[in-house]
Amino acid sequence: MYAIRRHKYGGVEVLRLETVECPIPGEREILIKVRAASVNPLDWRFMTGTPYVLRMASGVTVPKDPRLGVDVSGVVEAVGRQVSKFKPGDAVFGCCRGAFAEYACATETLLVAKPENICFDSAAAVPVAAVTALQGLRDLGRLSSGM
């Protein structure tokens, strides 16, 4: 399969289209045939390795994981043994590592069913942006239920 990867930190010049093995889902993971992925500031931070404190977890001088892309939407291709919420053929969206590829794996808890009235492109644009909006409204705006 094809995937956009990087093997060093930097700008768009570090991105490479590579042929890699298709991921195999773990017991609690879902293999997604990616239909759409979105780009957001989180992806840029992983790509550039900034702020530098991020590198403590992702690799100090070079990235430990060359995969990029967090927001994903697609169709379930296969499921791990302990997955009960989804089955092959289900349309899903959510978060994973390596969404900039033909296939990606995600844990069951990071995905939800894609509503039929929303296209894959729109669904892929939701996850990180929605969490960011929620944090801003709830945490910084101190909004609560019923307000």
> Count of residues for the chain?
147
Instruction: Encode pLDDT of 88-134 as tens digits.
Output: 999 999 999 999 999 999 999 999 999 999 999 999 999 988 888 88
Task: Name the pTM for this structure.
Answer: 0.89
The dihedrals phi and psi of 136, each to the nearest 5 degrees, come to -65, -45
End-to-end alpha-carbon separation of the chain, Å? Answer: 47
CA 73, chain centre distance (Å): 9
Nearest to 125 by CA among 39, 54, 61: 39
Beta strands in 91-145 (DSSP E): 91-95, 103-107, 111-113
146 secondary structure, DSSP code: T
Instruction: Report pLDDT digits (tens) over 8-60.
Output: 999 999 999 999 999 999 999 999 999 999 999 989 999 999 999 989 989 99
Q: Where are the domains of the chain?
A: 2-140
C-alpha–C-alpha distance, residues 8 and 1, integer Å? 21
pLDDT band at 5 (very low <50, low <70, confident <90, very high): very high
Residue 134, burial from CB neighbour count under 10 angstroms (0-12, 13-18, 19+) = exposed
pLDDT of residue 38: 96
Q: What is the model's pLDDT at position 39? A: 94
CATH of 2-140, one of 2.40.50.1070, 3.40.50.2300, 3.40.50.300, 3.90.180.10: 3.90.180.10
